[in-house]
């Protein structure tokens, strides 16, 4: 926990950060009310006994891990999920004391020592990893059994022990006094698909593994399987906890899930116009002259580029919002800047704010729109925004 002085210093820094954005060329706004709304509405899908884990890995999908974690916990989440040990430590250093699950694999003595010191909870993926943890905890003389989470591979073919070896694995961990099983879980590979065949197969494998354990008199204190899509699409997958990432940020994992819950987008990306100029017909714009003016036109230079996380491959493909009106981005997006066709925006001046992702009036541009252009997913768009874009929490 932070000292009183450290807490005051952190509060002062946040106060500064909130107001310093006005001098920035570009920034990201985080709507805390929307985030809280999403958590509350997702909780309504769950039974009272089912907990909600807010997945805040990758700096909360680019939204700012500390801000998001605090808001999610206040709105009804009871667990946090991260990918790495440093991500968990960052949350602890901010004063957050909720249980934190490390979803990635950890093996080194230094990682294990940090996990114990900061009261984080690791995922165990294999018997070999369990033995490494046991030996390391003996060496550092950890005074209490460490809560660990058993990961089973039911068809993702990523981390985890094969579900058919679940009984062996769990019995091994139970025999290690330095470890205490906190949950057993798996991860779904196709939960966002309308075809539920593979998802149901994974669920059947998960339940078969749990049944094998019960036959041996072993009852897991907590079971969890559902990600955002499964949480929204199938209540039978909720078990004791759900792990929700994308949905708490206001985006749907798939179009067919839109009807399940009312979500509000949390993130907006904004930048300022840095110069406005008129160019004549035949004038090339930006590197490579991939756009050539067909006639006299007015263009605006915007202070944001691919070094901020706007993919260069979106060049000449996207629109942005200026005064609620969609205008085209033209020419190649550069490291720090991009150009817009503002011929139809009267009297636009340097310093005016433009929305790249977000909503103005009735018009909206989402991470899904960019993802479709790039044949990728919204998760990649959100987690790609760089840290030189300040995150500004709006209450």
pLDDT confidence band for 1 (50 / 70 / 90): very low
What digits encode the pLDDT tens for the residues 345-381? Answer: 999 999 999 999 999 999 999 999 999 999 999 999 9
Distance (Å, whole) CA 62 – CA 381: 9
Instruction: Say whether pLDDT at 6 is over 60.
Output: no
Share of residues in the chain with pLDDT > 90 (%): 92
Distance (Å, whole) CA 27 – CA 20: 10
CATH entry, 4-257, from 1.10.3720.10, 3.30.70.330, 3.90.580.10, 3.20.20.10: 3.20.20.10
User: The whole model's pTM is what?
Assistant: 0.92
What digits encode the pLDDT tens for the residues 307-330? Answer: 999 999 999 999 999 999 999 999
Q: Degrees (nearest 5) of the Cα angle 215, 156, 53?
A: 75
Task: Supply the pLDDT for residue 24.
Answer: 86
Task: Supply the pLDDT for residue 12.
Answer: 40
Q: Which fold has domain 268-365?
A: Lyase, Ornithine Decarboxylase; Chain A, domain 1 (2.40.37)
Contact by Cβ (8 Å): 33, 395: yes
Average pLDDT of every residue of the chain: 94
Q: How far is CA 105 from CA 85, 150, 391, in A?
A: 10, 11, 29
Task: Supply the pLDDT for residue 22.
Answer: 54
Q: How large is the average pLDDT for residues 329-343?
A: 98
Strand-pair partners of 243: 53
Q: What's the sign of the alpha-carbon dihedral 97, 99, 103, 107?
A: positive
Q: Which of 182, 188, 191, 232 is nearest to 206 (CA)?
A: 188
Shared fold status for 4-257 and 268-365: no
What digits encode the pLDDT tens for the residues 246-265? Answer: 999 999 999 999 999 999 99
Q: Degrees (nearest 5) of the Cα angle 167, 171, 175?
A: 175
Task: Supply the pLDDT for residue 23.
Answer: 63
Catalytic residues: 57, 287
Helices 109-117 and 85-93, interaxial angle, to 10°? Answer: 30
The domain limits of the chain are 4-257, 268-365
* Tokens linked to 289: 């002259």
Backbone angles phi, psi at 230, to 5 degrees: -70, -35
């Amino acid at each position: 926990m932070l000292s009183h002085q450290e807490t005051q210093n952190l509060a002062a820094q946040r106060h500064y950060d909130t107001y310093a954005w006005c001098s920035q060329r570009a920034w990201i706004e985080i709507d805390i009310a929307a985030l809280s709304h999403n958590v509350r509405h997702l909780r309504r899908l769950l039974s009272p006994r089912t907990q909600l884990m807010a997945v805040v890995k990758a700096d909360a999908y680019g939204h700012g891990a500390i801000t998001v974690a605090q808001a999610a916990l206040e709105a009804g989440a009871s667990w946090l999920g991260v990918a790495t040990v440093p991500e968990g430590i960052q949350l602890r250093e901010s004063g957050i004391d909720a249980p934190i699950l490390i979803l990635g694999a950890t093996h080194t003595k230094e990682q294990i020592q940090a996990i114990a010191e900061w009261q984080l909870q690791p995922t165990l993926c294999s018997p070999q990893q369990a033995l490494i943890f046991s030996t390391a905890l003996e060496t550092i003389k950890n005074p209490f059994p460490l809560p660990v989470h058993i990961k089973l591979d039911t068809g993702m073919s990523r981390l985890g022990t094969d579900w058919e070896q679940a009984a062996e694995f769990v019995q091994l961990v139970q025999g290690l006094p330095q470890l205490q099983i906190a949950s057993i879980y798996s991860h779904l590979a196709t939960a966002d698909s309308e075809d539920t065949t593979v998802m149901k197969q994974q669920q059947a494998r998960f339940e078969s593994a749990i049944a094998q354990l019960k036959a041996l008199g072993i009852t897991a204190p907590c079971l969890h399987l559902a990600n955002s899509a499964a949480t929204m699409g199938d209540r039978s997958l909720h078990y004791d906890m759900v792990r929700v990432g994308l949905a708490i940020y206001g985006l749907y994992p798939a179009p067919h899930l839109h009807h399940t819950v009312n979500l509000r987008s949390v993130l907006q990306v904004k930048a300022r116009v840095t110069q406005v100029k008129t160019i004549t017909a035949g004038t090339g714009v930006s590197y490579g002259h991939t756009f050539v003016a067909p006639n006299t036109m007015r263009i605006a230079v915007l202070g944001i580029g691919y070094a901020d996380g706007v993919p260069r491959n979106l060049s000449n493909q996207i629109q942005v919002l200026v005064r609620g009106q969609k205008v085209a981005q033209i020419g190649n997006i550069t490291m720090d800047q991009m150009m817009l066709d503002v011929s139809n925006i009267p009297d636009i001046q340097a310093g005016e704010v433009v929305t790249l992702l977000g909503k103005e009036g009735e018009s909206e541009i989402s991470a899904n729109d960019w993802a479709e252009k790039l044949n990728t997913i919204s998760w990649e768009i959100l987690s790609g925004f760089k840290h030189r874009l300040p995150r500004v929490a709006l209450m």
